[in-house]
Copies of this chain bind each other. A is one copy, B any other.
Amino acid sequence: MTDKILSISRRTRATPFTRRVEAAGVKGYTVYNHMLLPTFFESNEADYWSLCRDVQVWDVSCERQIEVTGPDSERLIQLMTPRDISKAVVGQGLYAPLCDETGGMINDPVLIKFAANHWWVSIADSDVRLWARGLALGFKLDVAIREAPIWPLAVQGPKAEILVTRVFGDEAPGIRFFRSKMLEFHGRAMMVMRSGYSKQGGFEIYLNDPELAEPLWDELFAQGKDLQVRPGGPNLIERIESSLLSYGNDMNYNNNPFECGLDAFIDLDAGIEAMSLPALRALKGKHVHQLMGLVFDQVVAIPDCAILDSGQVVGDVRSQVWSPRYGKYLALAMMRRDYLEHNQSVTVDGKIGTIVDLPFDFDAIR
């Protein structure tokens, strides 16, 4: 495919940062939760090196916060996820697949607890607001659910801590992974969490005043000049090298968390009330597919992304990218488990690819 223009309208919502993103020379967007998500500024590869070497600022406003408040909040959230949320710590991020009554994944958000009756569901790309509200109405739960007026801005890369400390002060370095603090910018307290959709380290700033979007953006760029700060976005190369899953790409509602290797986030025996538990108990160990890595020495063309062996479909490619760092072509593929029992490689387009466990282990691959 050659490059296509994104037709932008009010439906593909802009963010409080969009004017700055445009001024910074964004070249590509995707649409995520009905909102513009910048994907690259120079090129995927140039942005990749900048992210791994220095520090980037990402407009990830599209990580919408579905806010659940009211006495039944915890019950509703536990109903939606098979991860035990009873031990959640206030201000802590908790990665938690949301699964329906068949075990299918509705989303894979990060949950943030403020109090038993006050949670954020920091969502991937599906209308969790509708799912949660439908359930709450039907089950007559005493909750209020809304998309909160919050626009996350990520600061990612090895120099992110230096930059965030310059802007938010000396408390930033003390924030542990997936923990947060309320820190001030221009007199306004906002949540700063050590998190983000890369493995290069960094923070997400949960902007809660759109008037401060441009001052915050400008301050990060002013303070980061000597750090070679650049605008960026979730980077396809980096996220696949780092085996970060993407809902809608690597899995969707037709997949259960076992297929995606998310067993660690499923608490089958915690006595929780998740609606997916009966189905997940029955599926455990019996799921048909498993998300695996594929490694090729060169770019391959995979028609319709179907992986064939002797004419039989044995898997399908979900995401793929050329890794300039490793000189390998990497893919995430949903593979038949019965095939994996007997095969450690696949032949596609005449080229042999190695099937590997996730996350990718580049020491082993080289």
Binding site for B on A (CB under 8 A): 1, 3-12, 22, 26-31, 34, 39-40, 100-101, 106, 125-128, 130-140, 236, 246-249, 275, 305, 318-319
A100 to B29, CA, bound (A): 31
Among the interface residues A130, A135, A138, A275, which one has the most CB atoms of the partner chain B within 10 A?
Answer: A130
Copies of this chain assembled into the complex: 2
Among the interface residues A10, A131, A249, A319, which one has the most CB atoms of the partner chain B within 10 A?
Answer: A10
Whether the Cβ atoms of B248 and A10 lie closer than 8 Å is yes
How close is A143's CB to chain B, nearest CB, in angstroms? 12
- 11 A–B contact pairs at CB < 8 A? A1-B8, A4-B8, A7-B29, A11-B246, A34-B248, A106-B130, A127-B127, A135-B137, A137-B139, A138-B139, A138-B140
Are A39 and B249 also in contact (CB < 8 A) when A131-B130, A134-B132, A139-B138 are?
no
Whether the Cβ atoms of B11 and A249 lie closer than 8 Å is yes
Whether the Cβ atoms of B138 and A10 lie closer than 8 Å is no
What residues of chain B lie closer than 8 Å to A136, measured between beta carbons? 134, 138
Are A40 and B7 also in contact (CB < 8 A) when A131-B134, A134-B135, A137-B275 are?
yes
How close is A124's CB to chain B, nearest CB, in angstroms? 9
How close is A61's CB to chain B, nearest CB, in angstroms? 16
A6 to B247, CA, bound (A): 18
